[in-house]
Amino acid sequence: MTLKKFVYLLAFGILALAAMPVMASVQTGHAAPDFTGTDVNGETIKLSDYKGQKVILEWTNHQCPFVVKHYDSGNMQKTQKAATDQGVVWLTITSSAEGKQGYTTPAEAKAIMEETGSHATTRILDPSGEIGHMYGAKTTPHMYIIDEDGTLVYQGAIDSNSSPRQSAIAGAKNYVLAALDELNAGHPVTDATTAPYGCAVKY
């Protein structure tokens, strides 16, 4: 091939490589990207499986002090129960890479779910970080709410006070519960995009 063509191919190749681990982001109000993941029971889970139901994604890392804040206090489990009682599908996701904080084997993850009394529908293990990158998940916890039509209607923090103290939960606004209330009443979500807080996801 001619030199020119070679150079172009090379350039494309380099660009393609450079584009590899790109953090996407989803705008609230737009379609939530479909993903495929494996849960702690080895089952394949697809977002599109749940079309017609609301889905909540919760990024977690059981060793992150902010996740501990919400689990030790029972706040996360309480929110999970309130949602799943309404028929919402709750997917907890771990995107920690192997060897990094928060990484769990399926057995470990199941144990954590039992110990903490999680009310999540199931837990997806995403050590490659693919689903995390797809959604631009930055922190643990980081919450996303997807409605029955597959539109992202909320992304951000679980509540309005980013302090690591458990005492901060009582006075804070739980954005997830508030959003569910508004959606059930047929209103648009007021705080549809909030600042997520927590430890960085350990990709």
Partner 1 sequence: MVFAPHSMAQEKAQEPEQYVKVRLLSERSAVGPGQDIWIGIEQSIHPGWHTYWRNPGDSGSAPRVDWTLPDDWKISDIHWPAPEKIPYDPLLNYGYSGNVILLQKLTTPPIMKGGPVTLTADFEVLVCKEICIPEFGTYTLTLNDPENMNENNEAYLASAREKLPVPSTVSAVFSERDGTLEVRLSEWPEDIAAETLELFPLEWGLIENTAPLQTRMDNGALILSQDRADRPLNDIKQTDFVITGKGADGNRHAYQITASAEGTPAPGTESSPLPALLGALFFALLGGMILNLMPCVFPVLSLKALSLSKNANKKDQTPARRSGLAYTAGVVLSFLAIAGILIALKAAGAQIGWGFQLQNPVVVSLLAYLLFIIGLNLSGLFEISGHFGNVGNKLTQGTDITASFFSGVLATIVATPCTAPFMAAALGYALTQPAYISLLIFAVLGLGLALPYLALSYTPSLGKMLPKPGKWMETFRQLLAFPMFASAAWLVWVVSQQTGSMGMLGVLMGLVLIAFAFWLIQHQPKDSNRKILVLVLAALTFLTAFALLPKDTVAVKQQHEISFGEPFSHAALNEYLQGDDPVFVEMTAAWCITCKANHKIAIDIPQTRQIFAEKNVKYLVGDWTNQDPNITEYLNTFDRNGVPLYVYYGPRDDVTKKRPQPNVLPQLLTPGIVKDRIK
Binding mask 35-64 for partner 1 (x = CB under 8 A): ----------------------------xx
CB of 46 to partner 1, least distance (A): 24
Q: How do strand 142-146 and strand 152-156 relate by DSSP bridges?
A: antiparallel
Q: Which of residues 174-193 bind partner 1 (CB under 8 A)?
A: 193
Binding segment for partner 1 (CB under 8 A), chosen from 3-11, 42-50, 170-178, 194-202, is 194-202
Whichever of 179 and 199 has its CB closer to partner 1, that residue is 199
Residue 46: strand pairing partners: 36
Other CB atoms within 10 Å distance of the CB of residue 35? 19
Tally Cβ neighbours within 10 Å of residue 148.
13
164 in contact with partner 1 (CB under 8 A):
yes
Residues in region 87-146 near partner 1 by CB under 8 A: 100-101, 133, 136, 138-139
For residue 103, which amino acid is it?
Y
**Which among 80, 78, 68 is positioned nearest to 164, based on CA atoms?**
68
Q: Which of 107, 74, 112 is nearest to 92 (CA)?
A: 112
Q: Which positions lie near partner 1, rule CB under 8 A? A: 21-23, 25-28, 63-66, 100-101, 133, 136, 138-139, 155, 162-165, 193, 195-203
